[in-house]
Amino acid sequence: MQPKKIMICDDDRGILEMLELFLELEGYNVICEINSTHLTKQLISHKPDLLLLDLWMPILSGDQLIKIIRSTTEIKETPIIVLSASVDGPEIAGNLGANGFVAKPFDLTDITDKINSILKN
C-alpha cells in the first residue's frame, strides 16, 4: 500500500524537522514547507492526504491559509489539523473549518491519534 502523504507547514525549522523525523518513522511520506506563501502552490502540486498547519506565521498566517485552501477548488477538501501554542487556536481552527486541533507542546501520540482518526474517514 502506498504510504499516506502528509504536508507540514510551520515557520519554525525545529518543529518541522522533528515532525518530519517522527512521521517518517511512523511510515508516512512527509513534505515540509517553511514558507507559508508557497503552501498553496505546494498543496496543488503534491495533493497531500493531510495538512499539519501552524497558525502564527509571518506574511500569510494559518487562518488566512485555511480560508484560501477552503476556497481553492483543487485542494478545498484537504483535511487540516491546526497545531498552535496560541490561546485562541482552538476557536480559530473550529470557526474556519479545520478538521482538528492539537495544542503545542504536544505528545506525539496526540498527533498520530488525530491523523489516524481523520485518515480512517
* Rounded least distance, CB 79 to another protein, Å: 21
19 binds another protein (CB under 8 A): yes
68 binds another protein (CB under 8 A): no
Nearer to another protein, 12 or 113 (CB): 12
Total chain residues near another protein (CB under 8 A):
19
- CA dist., res. 119 & res. 86, Å (int): 25
DSSP structure string for 89-115: HHHHHHHTT-SEEEESS--HHHHHHHH
- Dihedral (C-alpha) 97, 91, 55, 60: value to the nearest 10 degrees? 70
15 binds another protein (CB under 8 A): yes
Give the cell for residue 47: 495533493
- Which residues are at the interface with another protein (CB under 8 A)? 12, 14-15, 17-19, 21-22, 25, 56, 85-88, 104-108
